[in-house]
Structure formats: C-alpha cells, structure tokens
Structure 1
Amino acid sequence: MDQNTGQVIDDDNDIGEITGRNLRVLEALLFAAKEPLHLEEAKPFLSDGANIEDLAAQLSEKYKHSGVNLVKRGEAYAFRTAEDLGFLLRREETERKPLSRAALEIMAIIAYHQPVTRSEIEEVRGVATSKGTLDVLMEAGWVRMRGRRRTPGRPVTYGTTPEFLDHFGLEAITDLPGLNELKGTGLLSANLPPDFAVPAPNDGDLFDNEDPLDADDDGDDLLTELSQDDFDH
C-alpha cells in the first residue's frame, strides 16, 4: 500500500503492463526492420532489465499459427510469411540471372566447409576457382570474407552470411541437409561409393588458426584483379 495515497500497489499488474509494452515495442521493431533484427539492436527501446529472449519467444508463440511467423535466422529474428501461404503472395520480380554450375558448387563447398580458402575450394572441386565467381556470390550477399589463415601468405577464408540463411529459410547453418536427406531429394545418387560422405556443416565461428579481417581489409584487391576471363569458367 502506498503510504502517501493509501492506494494498494499491484506490482504484478505493473510488471504485466511493462511486459506488454515491451512486447508491442519489439513487435513493431521487427515489423519495421528491412532485414532480420538482432535482439541487441532492440534493447535500447525496451525497459531496463527486459528479458529480450523471453519476449522473442512469446512473440514466436503468438504468431505460431498466424499468416506470418516470427522466425530465427542465425542470431537475428524476422517476420516471414507462413510456409503454407507463401504461394499466395508470390509476385513477379526482376528476373535474376541464375547461378552457374560452378557458382552453385562453390556455394555448397563454402556452406559445408566454412571457413574455407580459395585453394581449399579448388582442392575439393579439382579445378581452378574463378575470382569472378566468388565475387558474384559476395555481390548476391550469400558469401563474405571472414578472416585470414595463420599460414604462409595469410589466405582469406570465406563463409556464409545471415542473408544466405534467410534466403534458404535456415535458422542455423547446421540445418543444411545431410547425406541421407540429399539422397532423398534426388540430388545425389543412391549408388555412391561406401566412403562417400557429406561433411557436417560448420557454424562459421572463427577457428583458432584464423584471424579476423582488419577493418581496412575489405577485399578491394580481389575486385581490382577481376577480368572478363574470370566469368567464363
């Protein structure tokens, strides 16, 4: 009871109002975000001590059976059309040139083996890797330069991006299909050698033998080396 007014203070009601406001604020931020939102970005707009992970979980449950769902993409969250309703909202978009077979192979190698260097990609594929193809994947926003190996020449390593997860509807890179799933989709022949294996996807964290790229090491040296021949492979 408030000694000054004689009114009964309902702490639970106050807490409920604060939580309700936090939910509305987080909901609004997620709706307005153009890209998946990291929860840390929402903290300045919420009350002190707000449990933002719990708030996100409550919103996920709220929209679980709605026309839009709150989904996790890496460490970020976003509202996306429910999977069973996606066909209703397809729109004609500017036709994007399909990726070449080489680009698809490189994308798959990076996704499953990251962090991976260009020479390691070439070792898996058995052929040279075009700088132009890597550049196309980076321009698409699916691949990024992550760091440099602590080996002679300090080669750049590559990994996937949150945009890659969002595009393919993955919560984490470890959600990529394994060998049995790939066989089931028909993407791999069932008559594979006994020792054939699809690696378990790495989560993309920096390895002990990898240094993060310097702030001014933005890869311009790769772009300046591009030539028309790079796109012919």
Structure 2
Amino acid sequence: MKENGATIIPFALDAEDEGNEAGVELAEAVRMAEAIVFASAEPVSAKALAARLPDGTDVRAVMARLHGLYEHRGVNLVTIGDGWAFRTAGDLAFLMSRDAVQQKKLSRAALEVLAIIAYHQPVTRAEIEEIRGVETSKGTIDTLMETGWVRMRGRRRTPGRPVTYGTTDAFLDHFGLEEIRDLPGIDELKGAGLLSSRMPSNFAIPQPPSDPDLLSDDEDPLTDLDLEELGLLTPRITDD
C-alpha cells in the first residue's frame, strides 16, 4: 500500500482478530499506543494513554498486546513505575556500550545514601545519618537529586518539619526495576556478595512502600512556600 509516495505496511492482526470488529479496533489502538510511547522521551502512564486513545479503550489490554509484539525484538516494551517505555533488549545492551557516555561514578557515601533512601523512603536527612552512623553532607543528597534518581517528597510532621526523600521513576528505569518492591531482598544481596554471610541474626532489610508516590500518614505535601524556602521555586513578587 502506498500513501504520498511512501510504502505503508498495515499493522498485522492476529488470526482471531481478522474479521472481528473488536479485534480490528484493538489492533488500531495498539498502533496508536505504539506511536505515543515511541515518540515520548519519558515513560508514558496509563492515564496519559487513556487520554489520547479512543474512549473506552482497555489500556492494560492494549499494552499487554504491544508487550507481546515486542517481547522477542531488539527493542522491548518495559514497565517503569506506572508507565511504559521502549528500551533496548537486555541481551543486546553490549551493542550500545561503545557509544555510551562515560558517567562519573558515585562516591561510596552517595551509594550508601541512595540505598538507604531506596529501602527506607520516605526518609529524612537526620534518619539517613542515624542509619549510617555518620554525618551526611547536603552535597551528597544534592548529587543524587541531580542524577534524577532522588526527589524531595514532602515534610515530616515533626518539630522542624524536615524534608523527606524518596526515589523517582528515573531510578527504577536506570536499575531495570518495574516498581520499588522489585528491589533485591536480603538473600539476593547475599548471593551477589553485597552482604556478609556473617550478618547479625536480627539484621533485616525494610520492605519498600507499595506505592512510593503516596505520602505517608506523617508527611505533609510540599507547598509553594516550601519550594521557595528550599530554593526550588523563584519567590513571588507582590505589589505593596
């Protein structure tokens, strides 16, 4: 088929979809979702897809079909947080290594803080210091925020209202996690040689939150005044 001089390859239907109006509509919705995710620089959420696909579209069914289509391709559809994105198949990542930009390695302190935030979120700077047993510089947390892996979540409902920190979808994307609950457990960490086999018997790894985007009962959301105070928002100029 040609259109405006270009060859158009029709979207392939499964045998069960041919001659089936609902199947044809699903296939067209899959094509549309494919285009939306492909064109986006960030993972696309179910809400964003639902807003752009035909009314009544079963987004989960559409993305399940699209996932299957790319399952054995050089590019896979992956779930990141509550969204979807196309990524190079894991077994082909070596092909991209020669073109990869060399990233500055995080310091040991930054890695420790990142691990604490990932497993203990929401967590304050004072709580991070208590867990590490040493003072944590503001620069270390700033570095993690610059990577896009850590964000300010809210304010703890305690004296001083300290800021709480948590991870981002960019953190999940970088480490190949669908959700924060996919972080390795104690057995996996021991198997990878990241924990000593002689850890105290009462040592335990906290269970990450099921939905890190939801504020906990002892957190308040960040307001514009908070953001101004933290230097994340330009102060408003008011006329006297």
TM beyond 0.5 = yes
Alpha-carbon spacing, 1:83–1:93, altered in 2? closer, same or farther (3 Å) = closer
Instruction: Return the alpha-carbon distance in structure 2 between the equivalents of residues 38 and 156 of structure 1.
Output: 27
Q: Deviations over 1:121-176 (max 9, x none)?
A: 00000111111110000010000000111111111100000000000000011101
Give me the identity figure in percent.
Answer: 58
Instruction: Return the alpha-carbon distance in structure 2 between the equivalents of residues 217 and 51 of structure 1.
Output: 39
Structure 2: give runs of 5+ residues left out of the alignment: 1-18, 233-240
1:18–1:47 contact (8 Å) kept in structure 2: no
Secondary structure, counterpart of 1:80 in structure 2: strand
Which residue in the other structure is 2:116 paired with? 109
Residue from 55, 58, 73 that aligns with 2:62: 55
Deviation of 1:43 after TM superposition, in Å, equals 2.3
Q: Deviations over 1:85-144 (max 9, x none)?
A: 111232333322211111000000000000000100000001111111100000100000
Which residue in the other structure is 1:46 paired with? 53
Give the paired residue count: 212
Which residue in the other structure is 2:215 paired with? 206
Deviation of 1:216 after TM superposition, in Å, equals 4.7
Matched, 1:86 2:93: yes
Matched, 1:95 2:102: yes
Aligned residue runs from structure 1 range 3-18, under 5 A: 13-18=20-25
Which residue in the other structure is 2:183 paired with? 176
Instruction: Return the alpha-carbon distance in structure 2 between the equivalents of residues 140 and 122 of structure 1.
Output: 21
Matched, 1:197 2:204: yes
Instruction: Return the alpha-carbon distance in structure 2 between the equivalents of residues 50 and 176 of structure 1.
Output: 32
| Residue identity in the other structure for 1:77 | W
Which residue in the other structure is 1:218 paired with? 227
Greater relative CO, 1 or 2 (CA 8 Å, sep 6+) = 1
Structure 1: give runs of 5+ residues left out of the alignment: 1-11, 224-233
Using the size of structure 1 for normalisation, the TM-score is: 0.86
Alpha-carbon spacing, 1:197–1:59, altered in 2? closer, same or farther (3 Å) = same
Deviation of 1:220 after TM superposition, in Å, equals 5.9
Which residue in the other structure is 1:3 paired with? none
